[in-house]
Structure 1
Amino acid sequence: MNAPSPNGKPRLAISACLTGLNVRYNAGHKASSLCLDLLDKHFDWVPLCPEVAIGLGTPREPIRLVGDPEHPAVTGTRNSTTDLAGPLRAYGQQMAGELDDICGYIFMQKSPSCGLERVKVYQEDGHPAHHGRGVYAAAFCALRPDLPVEEEGRLHDPVLRENFIARVYAYADWQQQLRQGLSRSALIRFHARYKYLLMAHNPQAYRTLGRLLGNMRRDDDPQQLGPRYFSQLMQALRRCASRGTHGNVLQHLSGYLRNDLGQGDKAELQQVIGQYQRGVVPLVVPLTLLKHHLRCHPDPYLLQQAYLQPHPEDLGLRNAI
């Protein structure tokens, strides 16, 4: 496994056109202000364009998916005699193996090579179905099912954006754990840090993974159990947390402080949690108050929780959810 980038930032693969590179069929780009302005400070980008990589020039004839949405061909919009699905699929498989130091991937939406969902697949009558997937992206993701992936367009939704970035940092944390080595105690400590983040995203998986590690026998090999645990964790974190599940976690965390806070502080904390659950204030408000009380009354177990800061605060990702 490769080491992280020298500056410590997680590395993200990204469709090259989103970084402003002129690699599209019309020799243009689709520069993403969200990626280049909001996220650029926190990540190192690995720009990739599969269409250029397989030898298509710029400018070039646009390509599209045709035929079976599950196994489409990829042809030019004017010249349909050459199927590019094979080369795109092979490049996706190649990159899935080579990019072993990335912690996530941001794809260009609606692209016949890179789109993750709802890509048009044209039928014999000339009409498109809208449930295809880019051939390169499909091949890549099939070999990297645990890697956080998302389309740039969906990242403009604050809930989806926060969910994706939280998964990226969890993935990076696991890679760091692998570099340090897996052991029974390391697995238990890792899970302890992610307990409440997992509870917020997927209460059922929270219980399932707790049992998985709780039933770990002395002769169980952490090198085998660890990847199984992490795969289930990453699948669980794909579910977006709701106000209800966030509220439940906030109540659990506030319970640790019940012997430290006076009646006034307890009442204020409950009021703010209630306001969040009713949609009056964003998540950052009760979290800020909770962190204030934790600074005054430190609890080692709570202070290690990834839930309290799953990503850098200056990204402001919890200000709008």
Structure 2
Amino acid sequence: MSNNINIGISSCVLGEKVRFDSGHKVSKFVTKELAPYFQFVSVCPEVGMGMPVPRPTIRLISNDERLALVETKDSTKDHTQAMVEYSKSKVAELEEAQLCGYIVCAKSPTCGMERVKVYKNNGAENIGVGLYTNELMQKMPWLPVEEDGRLNDPILKENFITRVFTLYDFYQSVGNDLSRGSIIAFHSRYKLTLMAHHPNSYKELGRLVANIKDYDLEEFYQLYRVGLMKAMAYRATRKNNTNVLMHLQGYFKRNLDKKEKAELRQVIDDYRVGLLPLLAPLTLIKHYLKTHPDEYLEQQKYLEPYPQELRLRYGL
């Protein structure tokens, strides 16, 4: 079990008492279920830029095209510049840490990923992104970023963890051994995964890889990483998963007898209509793969994108 996968995280989500009221927002999923697999890199931008604990509450306000981070009770106390400077230097430092994901605190004016309250003269709208997280996502567009609360949704949770393990695998396979061969081998292992997440991106990345010799390797690495992680951000739908399962089924047509073929067809169809979770057809396919080995299928990450112990496909 590998826990050298670096994940950035808002300190309060880890249970550190760094919030404005000296409280925290601990996530049991993070501290109990994810901790064995990940090395957490804890960041609280507000404490990082020098604010005390406890501290006055802050919020985002919008005036004359400018977004500002000010104290709630005294908007003349403006922390925008300090936060922007801190965010830039911290994110630059984190780029060196080869992060594979980031879990941020929802609704926070510094850490929120979406729908953060922005106050205007005539009230507030949930349209903002926290200043720190905005810098993070601008500088590392390939990085999987998710909010603590959204990780309670089984589909969003599974998608985030899949992206984290994909990026980690990319760094392990390609980052440490950058060559055309290592990229082509990596892409080959993710063909079915990409088909399930976003068929259009699967085609685009396939074309990109086919023309790899036309690119400078470093430039290709950057292009492919962004394309790969953008594709993975699309959630694998039931329809796309069904197409991949039917594609997998095709590999066994010579090896299975009539009864086994019918059983596999039925289990895939039961998944397609929502009677069974994705785990059911995958378990059967893995069983047939043991009896009828196939080198190409055995290396497909689609069959096991992350450790089974995380039990993330039970609810899909």
Q: Tell me whether 62-71 or 249-258 shows the greater mean CA deviation.
A: 62-71
Query: Residues 71, 256 of structure 1: CA spacing in aligned structure 2 closer, same or farther, 3 A cutoff?
Result: farther
2:248 to 229, 245, 253: 253
2:146 to 146, 150, 161: 150
The 8 Å contact of residues 21 and 54 in structure 2, kept in 1 or not, is answered as: yes
1:205 to 181, 201, 207: 201
Aligned to 2:210: 214
Q: 2: distance between equivalents of 1:69 and 1:16?
A: 33
In structure 1, stretches of 5+ residues that fail to align are 1-5
Q: 2: distance between equivalents of 1:178 and 1:215?
A: 17
Segments ≥4 residues shifted beyond 4 Å: 68-71
Aligned to 1:49: 44
The normalised TM-score by structure 2 is 0.96
Q: 2: distance between equivalents of 1:264 and 1:222?
A: 49
Query: Residues 161, 68 of structure 1: CA spacing in aligned structure 2 closer, same or farther, 3 A cutoff?
Result: farther
Letter in 1 for 2:300: Q
Aligned to 2:114: 117
Residue 235 of structure 2 corresponds to residue 235 of structure 1: no
SS at match of 1:140: helix
Residue 280 of structure 2 corresponds to residue 285 of structure 1: yes
The 8 Å contact of residues 3 and 39 in structure 2, kept in 1 or not, is answered as: no
SS at match of 1:268: helix
Residue 182 of structure 2 corresponds to residue 169 of structure 1: no
Q: 2: distance between equivalents of 1:293 and 1:87?
A: 59
Q: 2: distance between equivalents of 1:93 and 1:250?
A: 44
Task: State the superposition RMSD in angstroms.
Answer: 1.6
The 8 Å contact of residues 96 and 141 in structure 1, kept in 2 or not, is answered as: no
Deviations 1:6-40, CA, capped at 9 Å, x for gaps = 95531111100011100000001011111112211
The 8 Å contact of residues 183 and 223 in structure 1, kept in 2 or not, is answered as: no
Letter in 1 for 2:142: D
Q: 1: distance between equivalents of 2:72 and 2:182?
A: 53
Residue 38 of structure 2 corresponds to residue 10 of structure 1: no
Aligned to 1:296: 291
CA offset at residue 286 of structure 1? 0.7
SS at match of 1:192: helix
SS at match of 1:117: coil
In structure 2, stretches of 5+ residues that fail to align are none
Q: Tell me whether 164-173 or 208-217 shows the greater mean CA deviation.
A: 208-217
Letter in 1 for 2:113: L
Aligned to 2:103: 106
Letter in 1 for 2:295: P
Identity between Structure 1 and Structure 2 (%): 44
Residue 22 of structure 2 corresponds to residue 27 of structure 1: yes
**Equivalent pairs, count:** 314
Deviations 1:211-237, CA, capped at 9 Å, x for gaps = 1112333x5332221221121111111
